[in-house]
Amino acid sequence: MLTPALLTRVVGAALDEDAPWGDLTSTTLLPADATATADLVAREPGVLAGGEVFATAFTLTDPATVVDLHVADGDAFAAGDVLATVTGSARSLLTAERVALNFTQRLSGIATLTAAYVAAVAGAGPGGKSVRIADTRKTTPGLRAFERHAVVAGGGRNHRFSLSDAVMAKDNHLAVLQRGGRDLATALREAIATLPHTAHVVVEVDRLDQIPAVLSGGAHTVLLDNFSLEDLRAGVSLIAGRATVEASGGVNLDTVRAIAGTGVDVISVGALTHSARALDLGLDVRID
Amino acid sequence: MLTPALLTRVVGAALDEDAPWGDLTSTTLLPADATATADLVAREPGVLAGGEVFATAFTLTDPATVVDLHVADGDAFAAGDVLATVTGSARSLLTAERVALNFTQRLSGIATLTAAYVAAVAGAGPGGKSVRIADTRKTTPGLRAFERHAVVAGGGRNHRFSLSDAVMAKDNHLAVLQRGGRDLATALREAIATLPHTAHVVVEVDRLDQIPAVLSGGAHTVLLDNFSLEDLRAGVSLIAGRATVEASGGVNLDTVRAIAGTGVDVISVGALTHSARALDLGLDVRID
Amino acid sequence: MLTPALLTRVVGAALDEDAPWGDLTSTTLLPADATATADLVAREPGVLAGGEVFATAFTLTDPATVVDLHVADGDAFAAGDVLATVTGSARSLLTAERVALNFTQRLSGIATLTAAYVAAVAGAGPGGKSVRIADTRKTTPGLRAFERHAVVAGGGRNHRFSLSDAVMAKDNHLAVLQRGGRDLATALREAIATLPHTAHVVVEVDRLDQIPAVLSGGAHTVLLDNFSLEDLRAGVSLIAGRATVEASGGVNLDTVRAIAGTGVDVISVGALTHSARALDLGLDVRID
Amino acid sequence: MLTPALLTRVVGAALDEDAPWGDLTSTTLLPADATATADLVAREPGVLAGGEVFATAFTLTDPATVVDLHVADGDAFAAGDVLATVTGSARSLLTAERVALNFTQRLSGIATLTAAYVAAVAGAGPGGKSVRIADTRKTTPGLRAFERHAVVAGGGRNHRFSLSDAVMAKDNHLAVLQRGGRDLATALREAIATLPHTAHVVVEVDRLDQIPAVLSGGAHTVLLDNFSLEDLRAGVSLIAGRATVEASGGVNLDTVRAIAGTGVDVISVGALTHSARALDLGLDVRID
Amino acid sequence: MLTPALLTRVVGAALDEDAPWGDLTSTTLLPADATATADLVAREPGVLAGGEVFATAFTLTDPATVVDLHVADGDAFAAGDVLATVTGSARSLLTAERVALNFTQRLSGIATLTAAYVAAVAGAGPGGKSVRIADTRKTTPGLRAFERHAVVAGGGRNHRFSLSDAVMAKDNHLAVLQRGGRDLATALREAIATLPHTAHVVVEVDRLDQIPAVLSGGAHTVLLDNFSLEDLRAGVSLIAGRATVEASGGVNLDTVRAIAGTGVDVISVGALTHSARALDLGLDVRID
Amino acid sequence: MLTPALLTRVVGAALDEDAPWGDLTSTTLLPADATATADLVAREPGVLAGGEVFATAFTLTDPATVVDLHVADGDAFAAGDVLATVTGSARSLLTAERVALNFTQRLSGIATLTAAYVAAVAGAGPGGKSVRIADTRKTTPGLRAFERHAVVAGGGRNHRFSLSDAVMAKDNHLAVLQRGGRDLATALREAIATLPHTAHVVVEVDRLDQIPAVLSGGAHTVLLDNFSLEDLRAGVSLIAGRATVEASGGVNLDTVRAIAGTGVDVISVGALTHSARALDLGLDVRID
């Protein structure tokens, strides 16, 4: 969720990065009292994310700027649609333009890609069961809250925010737990007993035969990493509702529907945030 | 250039974002005294950028960690190559892993894409003249210095850093300068006269007939935006060395070589930073 | 968990608060080259928390200071025990003394009070079942991570860290969910379906008759707030292992053992952090 | 004094600590347009401190929130009194509630305890002379300005703010000044001569026989530490108005009136801030 | 250019420095509801810079304060002129007074000194050519943007802002470029080829005979450092419009007109910022 | 006093201001492995202040740099003296040079000017009584601690640091205290009774006849503002050791000795910090 504090801090830092001591061009070439109107126009179809971020870039630069959002985060739009209109000082509009676009293009790119994954798995679960598309921690450093917001705008779901708020045990952790021939289920159960009772525990497994011990150890989610479709189906069957089933690895728009068909609950997709391309949005400015 | 202050501030903030009050998993599941070794392995070929950033993620998390970089920024590598080796506390390595990879995958993705553009234009200028591939301000908010560094690692060149350090006059600015029937060259010259003498002035034009006035007005670079190949050639010919010639718009890996062939000096490419996908690099960890 | 970043930021800010432009007394009255040794001495028995914080106050003030901790966080000590020894510049020791003590006295006070609660419930659950003593969000603004660390040092357990990492639905939330005569279990289940799958959901109830709907709605923990002992027992029985059972309200050192005897899993105690008094620890300084 | 800058920085940081990326519960379970009213109700009698801090927690979370304070800082109230009323968005109210209470409970606890000390010494000085109850530097790290404000609200007085703004010479400092058989009065006078003329100098003594030299050396306040009542009386008599007389050590609600009866000017009490328990204040929220 | 972000950050930090926990005097001696009016009065003639900074000091302290600026930055005024009027709370006015004056006196001192240099060179170039007076990086740490703004208010021009936005090659750099007998022009040209095409390159020379190579190497500005008037004239003649000619060294109000007469384009003067004295401005406060 | 925290924060910010994303010149023109030696040389005689600041500028830029200070803060030097020697990476030295000099020239300018005032009043008091030269709050925003340190290095003394740590009542405050015909001494005494007992109270008077009431009201220092020499002598006589006597207004190097001759204890001089010019110090760099 994008709190006012997050918006102010992150967008403010971006504006400072892009104009640490002002916009040399606008202050030199435009009269201080010139006003302008600008339309945010979609150059290609997509799903909006970051409307509030877009607005914040303008109002932090100049509180007198008025931003009218015509489309809400999560809404789909067509090429040519006008998504928002900004009015205010010409200098202020041109100073904030690039930062506003950099955020909105990137976040809308993520929302649009997420929406494609969500559409791909619609009704694909066994018996029409809905499957969740979730993000990962493969986000842009400094922009995690913003990119997670974009995933939700695209119809996706968030995973844990950080290393501090949920547990994810992977191969290395499991190997350590089993040292000295220790029983995995026992070792896992004892470790979980020291955690906050509100801590969700995901355990990643590479093979089907790890599942019984992991369930017995108390995992809340079993993450089946890089499983074949057949093994995913076997895993779902083995887990049988005793934990949430998450799949990851080898997920792309070509494979995701089949993965959803195996009956897993959640498919986590790093590409949502690490490889979405910026959506082509433009600002058409008319100086009065 | 990545100063120590930038590295500490930006990488530190990313670590704080990813583990605001520690790594619940590692502190619960790994003994405090376990040590580990990790190899940064390329899962696909590419060009490295961000080696120092990678190292900083580990040493800020734990100053006792030792990072040995086997490949320098700007070096090309093959799939399977080991790019760096990290040794230290198992907890520290697993805590820093994701942030280290998030930066390095993103920056190496930019370097690799830049290198592809640079290779595409090699020797493509008239008479073998070299053409520069340059970045733009379409960078990730908060990471501009890092992404510009990656562009240079890929063989590209930087454009102005921000709105504060060079002038770029676009259509709106030119329209305002000409209000009331004012002569563009005169208006531009007078405006430039109020700037620091060290300010470089780029003027973007949409049509060939704007060029004489812009040159006469004192532009140091003329940016030919969305020109056809034919018009680019005409522009180069018209400018005739009196200013740097920059081309932008419609540039992709399919078109860039032809654009270079027109004789322009610089081709600026937003895609280098706004749409590079993360390169697939992985960390193979062995807990001792 | 106290990360190096947290220690540096919070302890550094405290030092800055206490000596924004240096220690007027020490710099005026002590020679720059005088050295000293100081013992951290317990004036009353207790449990230590904040040893690392104590050390950080000295080393941030002067990196040349050597701090030798004789007792680890979580260890009990008797009145008169020497818990740590500090050697270094006399000026530096006296400058950092108060901040070091302010932290350690407060955190050890929390650990000591927590240990009393933990001791009070030892073996008190039905059939010797162990019961967890947990903290709440009633912590000192700015010191949550430190106070949670102290609770763990005292043998207690942490609850959710913040509003961002787990859900706790209370009376107002439940009332809103049921508006328009909506079925609570359905409304709750639908709401949970929009959360990250890693989000733990606590639902607080005031009456036994709310429990079936809450369980059916998917709560992971049912918090029985201000229940009589009889009702707590009935609640445990009704929930029957389908969710974690947490008790809160009216908990103090006189009542906690009986509450533990009802079979609840977790007892959350605001007093651990909001009303612990500082433990009496002193620093005996000898200037050489 | 709580400046706007202090309120914004410290309360803002506390809100950020408690909801770094928003309130998962409220945003999931409450409609965005639900409004609510909340009363701050005293569950026990006391003295208010932190009304402005309480209000700031709500207005920083959402500037549209209206906070109406019915009781001023320093006012006494009875159990059941409504101290303030808050109206605004239901989400915003529930998001800010805990931080608002954490501050106000803690600060009102300090004010209430201070008021008890102040009442205990009323008219207790010889001839009805009034005696000051003062705080110390034993405050919560990061909250010193807030806790000092609470002491004043309770009728107490502040001591020096920090190591930077007044001098307090203790046993170690005096020992160093006398090294090599140097005369204490002379050594002290020479040291004071190097201080800003606006620096107040407190000298702490352990024995009556130190007083003449300390007065002669120019101390503005003589702090009699851990003196018996008899020795306090002797000290007051010996100092005879030539310096302010401060007593500390062994001060509690049982002993403070007798100490005041000895004629000292100031009694400094660490417990005011290091061991006050949070006052029981609650927020009764009604969602519209 | 003084962006809102810069004003808030730098003026806010100055207010915090001057009243970290409030104004003891005003809060003790003035009623909270007293109002006042204050005139900013010139005690000597000069040129104003920092009107907006002056206003910000008052409005950050108390947003209810009204500041009416009668004179704009860059305007000249006489002794006795009222430059601005402030109305608001008496406490707020007296709290902000010193910081407001510290900035405005310092910045107006710079503007006034700059105006003297600008006046000294008016029409002094050959054939009446105008010569620019420029600042340097010899500014007060932390106040560069503010002092550059003052230079512009005084009619001067800015040089590069920082080491990051333009190149200035000095004797040491040139010596390194020529190592191993390398040709300076070639070495310089190759180095420039690696820079952003928007980077302006200043090369400082000590002798006339360095000029041909430097021009041939592609310098945009040739800085003639500590040249005699005769050599300056020779340098201008040699450069012949192929680069901007900048003079520095030995510049003061006695020498600057003669230097301007040599035909150089820019004279850079460190004294504008490193040695301007504060202008005598006062605040006449009337409490209502 | 310059604490490590102050040095790091203020010098770090200055370095960041001067090279936000690195030194374009050095990284382009100098090999990464070139080393250099630099001497800090006095171009004119003076008194050093800021040696530690000078060193910090280099070591923050590059921890491998070695700075050897040959002269201590407060030492006088002659033109041509080498004050410090720096060795390290050529790039690092040239990057930090300007910031190091900007601080040291400014601070040494203040120390040198202060030393001139101190010398001017040596032995000038009646009967050879020594008189203190003190600074004021007329310091550069953001650099107060540094400039106060320079005043002490020059042999001067500090006044109160800020509005928060001592009281200074001026004409407006006194007028308010006397409203409704209230007796000034009584009003002042009652106000002082609400202050911390460690708060020093300065009262500024404009006329001799105000002195008795101010003394009776409990002022610790009486500040005689803009008094004639005759009135200063009368003031000293009237105060007769019952308070510290401070003189201000109309103080310059021509008048200060006569003012000292009147018998005042302290002369406060705004010019020490608001109008000192930078001392001419240079860095002679030799690249190896």
CB contact under 8 A, C197 and A132: yes
Q: Give contacts of B3 with chain F, Cβ < 8 Å.
A: 19, 21-22
Q: Is the pLDDT of residue C139 over 90?
A: yes
What is the distance in angstroms between the Cα of A101 and the nearest Cα belonging to chain B? 8
CB contact under 8 A, B3 and F21: yes
Average pLDDT over residues F92-116: 98
Q: Is the pLDDT of residue D1 over 90?
A: no
Residue stretches of chain E with pLDDT short of 70: none
Separation CA D96–CA D285 (nearest Å): 12
Burial call D240-263: b when 16+ CB within 10 Å, e when fewer:
eeebbbbbbbebeeeebbebbbbb
Phi then psi for residue A122, to 5 deg, are -60, 125
Q: E159 — contact with chain B (CB < 8 Å)?
A: yes
Mean pLDDT across chain D, nearest whole number? 96
Separation CA D151–CA B63 (nearest Å): 42
Separation CA C147–CA C103 (nearest Å): 10
Q: Give helix then strand counts, H and E, for chain E.
A: 11, 12
What is the distance in angstroms between the Cα of E100 and the nearest Cα belonging to chain B? 26
A163-178 pLDDT, tens per residue? Answer: 999 999 999 999 999 9
Average pLDDT over residues D20-37: 95
B193-249 pLDDT, tens per residue? Answer: 999 999 999 999 999 999 999 999 999 999 999 999 999 999 999 999 999 999 999
CA-closest candidate to residue A233, choices A207, A261, A210, A203: A261
CA distances from A108 to A6, A277, B272, E262, F107 (A): 18, 9, 18, 58, 52
Specify whether B98 is catalytic. yes
F138-194 pLDDT, tens per residue? Answer: 999 999 999 999 999 999 999 999 999 999 999 999 999 999 999 999 999 999 999
Separation CA D17–CA C287 (nearest Å): 40
A65-94 pLDDT, tens per residue? Answer: 999 999 999 999 999 999 999 999 999 999
Q: D144 — contact with chain C (CB < 8 Å)?
A: yes
Higher pLDDT, residue D129 or D113? D113
Q: A196 — contact with chain C (CB < 8 Å)?
A: yes
| Catalytic-labelled residue, pool E18, E225, E231, E280 | E225
Separation CA C170–CA B210 (nearest Å): 67
Separation CA B49–CA C18 (nearest Å): 43
| Catalytic-labelled residue, pool E137, E138, E144, E189 | E138
Q: Give contacts of F13 with chain E, Cβ < 8 Å.
A: 141-142
Q: B244 — contact with chain E (CB < 8 Å)?
A: yes
Nearest to B16 among C5, C148, C161 (CB): C5
Radius of gyration in angstroms for the set of CA atoms belonging to chain A, rounded to a whole number: 23
Quick one: E33 exposed, middle or buried, by C-beta within 10 A (0-12, 13-18, 19+)?
exposed
Phi then psi for residue E87, to 5 deg, are -130, 145
Quick one: pLDDT band at residue F48, thresholds 50, 70, 90? very high
Q: A164 — contact with chain D (CB < 8 Å)?
A: no
What is the distance in angstroms between the Cα of A126 and the nearest Cα belonging to chain B? 32
CB contact under 8 A, D1 and E24: yes
Quick one: pLDDT band at residue F1, thresholds 50, 70, 90? confident
Q: C5 — contact with chain B (CB < 8 Å)?
A: yes
Residue F253's identity, in one-letter code, is: L
C4-53 pLDDT, tens per residue? Answer: 999 999 999 999 999 999 999 999 999 999 999 999 999 999 999 999 99
Which pLDDT does position C109 carry in this prediction?
A: 98
Separation CA D14–CA C144 (nearest Å): 9
Quick one: pLDDT band at residue C1, thresholds 50, 70, 90? confident
Minimal-distance CA residue of chain C relative to B61: C4
Q: B196 — contact with chain E (CB < 8 Å)?
A: yes
| Catalytic-labelled residue, pool A23, A97, A135, A204 | A204
Specify the pTM: 0.95
A85-135 pLDDT, tens per residue? Answer: 999 999 999 999 999 999 999 999 999 999 999 999 999 999 988 899 999
Quick one: E180 exposed, middle or buried, by C-beta within 10 A (0-12, 13-18, 19+)?
exposed
Q: Give contacts of B163 with chain A, Cβ < 8 Å.
A: 18-19, 22-26, 95, 98
Q: Please state, as a whole number, how many other Cβ atoms lie within 10 Å of the Cβ of residue B278.
A: 23
| Catalytic-labelled residue, pool D18, D62, D98, D157 | D98
Quick one: pLDDT band at residue A1, thresholds 50, 70, 90? confident
Q: Give contacts of A161 with chain D, Cβ < 8 Å.
A: 21
Specify whether A129 is catalytic. no
B7-39 pLDDT, tens per residue? Answer: 999 999 999 999 999 999 999 999 999 999 999
Which pLDDT does position A47 carry in this prediction?
A: 98
> Taking CB atoms and an 8 Å cut-off, how many pairs form between chains A and E?
19
CB contact under 8 A, C5 and B24: no
Residues 6+ apart with CB under 8 A from D211: D205, D222, D235, D238, D239
Percent of chain F whose predicted confidence (pLDDT) is above 70: 100
Which pLDDT does position D183 carry in this prediction?
A: 96
Q: F22 — contact with chain B (CB < 8 Å)?
A: yes
Is residue C131 within 8 A of residue C260, CB to CB? The reply is: yes
Which pLDDT does position B1 carry in this prediction?
A: 75
Neighbours of chain A (3+ CB pairs under 8 A): B, C, D, E
CB contact under 8 A, B159 and E202: no
Q: Give contacts of E182 with chain F, Cβ < 8 Å.
A: none
Tokens standing for residue B99? 């942030």
Q: What is the ipTM of this complex?
A: 0.95
Specify whether B225 is catalytic. yes
Minimal-distance CA residue of chain A relative to C167: A198
Mean pLDDT across chain B, nearest whole number? 96
Which pLDDT does position E229 carry in this prediction?
A: 98
Which residues face D77 on adjacent strands?
Answer: D46
Quick one: pLDDT band at residue A46, thresholds 50, 70, 90? very high
Q: Give contacts of A1 with chain D, Cβ < 8 Å.
A: 21-24, 27
Separation CA D226–CA D80 (nearest Å): 40
